[in-house]
Amino acid sequence: MTEQSFMGGFSQLALGVCYYPEHWPEEDWVEDAAQMRALGLRCVRIGEFAWSRLEPQRDQFDFGWLDRAIATLAAEDLKVVLCTPTATPPKWLIDECPEILPGDPASGHVRGFGSRRHYDFSSTVYREEAVRICSVLAQRYGNDARIIGWQTDNELCCHDTAHSRSTAAGQAFQLWCESRYGNIDDLNTAWGNVFWSMEYLSFDSIELPFGAVTETNPAHQMAYRRFASEQILRFHNACCSALEEHIQNQWITHNFIPMKDTQTDCFALAAPLDFVSYDSYPLGRSEFLLGRDEPELARRYMRTGHPDYTAFYLDQCRGLKNRGFWIMEQQPGPVNWAPSNPRPAPGMVALWTLEAIAHGADVVSFFRWRQAKFAQEQMHAGLLRPDRSQSDAWHEIEDVVRVLNILKEESLPQPQAQVALVTDVSAQWVSDIEQQGQGVEAHRVTFQFYRALRRLNVAVDIVSHSADLSHYALVIVASMPIVSETLLEACEQSDATLLFGPRCGAKTPEFQIPPNRAPGLLEPWLNVKVNSVETLRPDVTEPFEYQDQVFQSRLWCEDLTVADATVAAYYQQSRPALVRKGRCLYLATLTDDAFLRQLLGDLLKEREVVICELPEDVRTMTRGSVTFAFNYGATAYTLNRLSDLPLNAEFLVGDAVLAPRGFSIWRSE
- Residues with catalytic function: 155, 329
C-alpha span between 526 and 563 (Å, rounded): 9
- Three-state helix/strand/coil letters over 488-499: HHHHHCCCCEEE
C-alpha span between 605 and 481 (Å, rounded): 28
Give rounded-to-5 percent helix, strand, coil for the chain.
35, 20, 45
C-alpha span between 664 and 652 (Å, rounded): 8
C-alpha span between 82 and 134 (Å, rounded): 11
Upper half-sphere CA count for residue 8 (Cβ side, 13 Å): 34
Strands 251-253 and 626-631: unpaired
Cβ neighbours of residue 172 under 8 Å, at least 6 residues apart? 122, 227, 231
First to last CA, the chain: 30
Q: Which of 587, 435, 441 is nearest to 501 (CA)?
A: 587
Residue 481, classed as helix, strand or coil, is: coil
C-alpha span between 133 and 144 (Å, rounded): 17
Q: Which of 612, 584, 582, 587 is nearest to 599 (CA)?
A: 587
Q: Is the dihedral of CA 241, 243, 249, 251 positive or negative?
A: negative
Range list of H helices, 376-497: 393-407, 425-433, 442-455, 485-492
- My answer on whether omega of the bond before 328 falls inside 30° of 0, hence cis, is no
C-alpha span between 459 and 611 (Å, rounded): 10
Instruction: Classify residue 148 by burial, with Cβ atoms within 10 Å: 0-12, 13-18, 19+.
Output: buried
- Cβ atoms of 595 and 627 within 8 Å: the answer is no
Give the angle 656-657-661 at the CA atoms, nearest 5°. 125
C-alpha span between 439 and 427 (Å, rounded): 14
C-alpha span between 83 and 491 (Å, rounded): 40
Amino acid at site 309: Y
Instruction: Classify residue 575 by burial, with Cβ atoms within 10 Å: 0-12, 13-18, 19+.
Output: middle
- Cβ atoms of 281 and 331 within 8 Å: the answer is yes
